[in-house]
Amino acid sequence: MGALSVLATQVHAQVLEEILVTAQKREQNLQDVGIAVTAFSGDQVEQLGWRNAEQVAAQTPGLVATSYNGANTISLFSIRGVAQTDFNDHQEAPTVVYTDGVYIAQTSAAGAAMFDTERVEVLKGPQGTLYGRNATGGLVHLISRRPTDTLEGYVDAEVSEFSTTRLTGVVSGPISDSVRGRLSVMKQDSDGYYENRLGPDLRSLDATNVRLQLEADIGERLSAHWVASWGEADYGAAAYTHRVATLGADGGGVFGGADTDFGGYMNNDFYSGDFSDAGPNDAEGWLSALTLEYELSDNMTLVSITGLQNNEKTYQEDSDSSPAVFGNFGTEQDADTFTQEVRIDGTSDSLNWTVGGYYLEIEGDYRAFFQFPDYFGYGTLPNNVYDLETTSWAVFGQVEYEISDTLSFTAGLRWTEDEKDFNTNASCIDTTELDGCNDFGLVQGSVQTEPTVVDLSPLSLSRDDSDYTGKLQLDWRPAEDVLVYASLNRGMKAGGFLGSIDGATTLPDLSFEDEILTTYEAGLKMTFWDNRARLNASAFYYDYSDYQAFVFQGITSVIRNNDAEITGAEIELTLQPANGLDLLFGASFLDAVVQDVDRGAGDIRDQDMVLAPDITLNFLGRKAWDLGGNGTLALQIDGQYVDEQQFNTINSEAASNESYSLWNARLVYEPTDNWSAELFVNNVTDEEYWTYGFDLALFFGSAILAVGEPRWAGASVRYSF
């Protein structure tokens, strides 16, 4: 599936331009790729005002992206309901993010800042026979603008509400006859838009991102591309909106059953609250990637992609979101990732093929804690220090054979070996004279004299998962501008371990098994109306075996294996009905169910999947006018509708959101080829909505909800050379 190709930046554009993607490891017209793909050019990313990877979901049917606290310190990507929503830092997601060909293993880095972007590609469904790290849900690929043969660059400055400033600077050009370079820098600062009546405002931002690229031609057949990026961000303290909640008849939290939470607090304000202990929310990371391409022959290329990453994070939140001190949750992370992909891409008159190998190593040290100072007389500090080493290797290949001028067949196969070594050491400290640790069952052990320290003996676990994934597909072209495809895919995600936040997790619940996803999909891609319209649609059925379902109960979480089913359809329609007018419509329809979920007390029933709304809609319209010798003017309106969705596999009113609609408006004036100015308003109607939440009715008598951004107006100016 494809997005608008030009968004009317050329006023007199009469036809839809080609969208070139590399979803199948070679450059192709989007309409020739028998995969559900949504793609955005770098110009579109800028015109839509996107600043991080999560925002891509606004115009991508089937993609939902959010973070636990609204500050993308852990980003969650759900494609067609396939997601991993455990908030512990060590978990890998089934819907993955790539940057310039390199797999981003840490969810804390997945919501990457987007600047100086060449293209974004969203691939839907299992990806394993072409890409390095197998992914059951799909992937989001962020591709940077490459170094250029001539000297060029730009400076972009933006100011907006809440004392927000953003400055982007780029310079690119030749260093020698065979070497080119590009330096891209973005600096963002913003005061918090969430008022804290007890201290500094929350949801502020102080972030710096730098990217350096070098590209070299080494002889006639060898080329090298090196990219190094670094970023740090102080996101300000996490902020949740507080709502009073009580236990309903089915054991889940509901609203309206009480006037206050267990501490006698209530808060009906959406963007303000009383936070007694809003802690740090800092992240820093770097990435280095080297891509080598060697032409073995005119139709065969050897490709090597080597990636090194480090991600560090310190996080603490006021989990009760009230002036009382019920509980503070925090995490720490220091993780290193090494990836190596080697493959050969080949082509001939009737055959395109890829064969390759992949190696991944992740070494991470982590900490999670949940502090209960004097909770009903009990003061406890559960603390869990753990580390995880993941080693994975795989071999994969795919072949596409043109049976005739109108029919082609694709087959792919992958074998993956995943090994995980896990060490955990959970402890609990009683900070009062009462035996809170034992009474709450946080850890098992012997009680000592005050201050009581109860330790769980260090525990070491390991697991080895190996399995195959594969793909079979037929592509049929009944006409030049029509592609019909049908595919069968098998995806796999290895099992893993939990980083318990309170030490209460029992030994059987510390690990979970691998999940297997079998998908059946049929799709249509067509261009019509004298090349003024593009329609892409797909329908699919997903059959999950041992789906890794995230379950949050009380203050702890587990991942349980349950079977699941997903049925859905997506459609995107792009139109250029008149000079300078572009329209884009998108829709996603889902029925995503986790089967036989144990809600406790013998209550077993099917539940809606997390981050899988039944309906999402998106719209974009852009009209541009040629002002003759005075440049061009363009007005853009874009919006999205998101249906009700759940935030926990155990569904409840307190951990879900109501449907909402968001609308944005932009006015762009380009007096010359070098200058442009823009006015924008995001969330024009000032819609109040939340994007994630936790049901804490059992422990705190409340729910905490991550709110979306309020109405936000600003202006920017850009100079290019």
What digits encode the pLDDT tens for the residues 101-136?
A: 999 999 888 888 899 999 999 999 998 888 878 888
CB < 8 Å & 24+ apart, contacts of 217-224: 217/178, 217/179, 218/178, 221/294, 221/295, 221/296, 222/292, 222/293, 222/294, 222/295, 223/292, 223/293, 224/290, 224/291, 224/292, 224/293
Omega of the bond leading into 323 within 30 degrees of 0 (cis): no
Q: Tell me: the pLDDT tens digits for 17-51? A: 677 888 888 888 888 899 999 999 999 999 899 99
User: What is the pLDDT at residue 427?
Assistant: 77
Q: Return d(Cα 176, Cα 217) in angstroms, integer.
A: 10
List pLDDT tens digits, range 529-580.
999 999 999 999 999 999 999 898 766 788 999 999 999 999 999 999 999 9
Q: What is the pLDDT of residue 539?
A: 98
Output the pLDDT for position 108.
87
At 7 the pLDDT is: 43
Mean pLDDT is lowest, of 356-360, 435-439, 583-587, 660-664, for: 435-439
183 SS3 class: strand
Is residue 339 scored above 50 in pLDDT? yes
Count of CB atoms within 10 A of residue 297's CB?
A: 8
For the record, the structure tokens of 646 come out as: 């759940």
Whole-number mean pLDDT of the chain?
90
- Beta 378-402 vs 407-430: how paired, if at all? antiparallel
**Helix/strand/coil for 129:** coil
- Closest C-alpha among 215, 214, 216, 194 to residue 203: 194
Lowest mean pLDDT among 49-53, 94-98, 250-254, 422-426: 422-426
- Whether 448 shows a pLDDT value over 60: the answer reads no
3-state helix, strand, coil in the chain (%, to 5): 5, 60, 35
47: helix, strand or coil: helix
Residue 445 predicted with pLDDT over 60: no
| Spacing of C-alpha 49 from chain mean position | 17
Element (H, E) at 282: strand 281-297
Read off the tokens for 42: 């770098």
The whole-number average pLDDT for the span 326-337 is 90
Q: 170-184, 289-303, 342-356, 420-434: which range is least confident on average?
A: 420-434
Does the CA dihedral 46-688-613-86 come out positive or negative? positive
Q: How confident is the model at residue 444 (pLDDT cuts 50, 70, 90)?
A: very low
pLDDT at 525 over 50: yes
Instruction: State residue 9's pLDDT score.
Output: 39
Q: Can you list the pairs that 27-32 forms with residues at least 24 positions away whose Cβ atoms lie under 8 Å?
A: 30/2, 30/525, 31/2, 31/481, 31/483, 31/525, 31/526, 31/527, 31/534, 31/536, 32/483
Q: State the pLDDT at residue 435.
A: 64
Strand partners, 179: 216
Are 412 and 398 contacting, i.e. CB atoms less than 8 angstroms apart? yes
376 pLDDT tier (thresholds 50, 70, 90): low
Give me the pLDDT at residue 502, please.
Answer: 61
The answer to whether the CB of 369 falls within 8 A of the CB of 383 is yes
Distance CA 705, CA 656 (A): 9
- Using an 8 Å Cβ cutoff, are 609 and 656 in contact? no
Q: What is the model's pTM?
A: 0.93
CA distance 63 to 97: 13
**Cα-Cα-Cα-Cα dihedral sign, residues 141, 147, 149, 150:** positive
Instruction: Using pLDDT thresholds of 50, 70 and 90, give the confidence band for residue 333.
Output: very high
39 alpha-carbon distance from chain centroid? 15
Compute φ and ψ for 89, nearest 5 degrees. Answer: -70, -20
pLDDT digits (tens, 9 = 90+) for 386-417: 999 999 999 999 999 999 999 999 999 999 99
User: For residues 371 and 636, which has the higher predicted lDDT (pLDDT)?
Assistant: 636
- Position 268 confidence tier, pLDDT thresholds 50, 70, 90: confident
Distance CA 325, CA 261 (A): 12
Q: Report whether pLDDT(431) > 80.
A: no
pLDDT of 438 over the 80 cut: no
Q: Which amino acid is at 694?
A: F
Residues in Cβ contact with 376 at an 8 Å cutoff, skipping those fewer than 6 apart? none
- 437: part of which helix (H) or strand (E)? helix 436-439
Q: Provide the pLDDT for residue 394.
A: 96
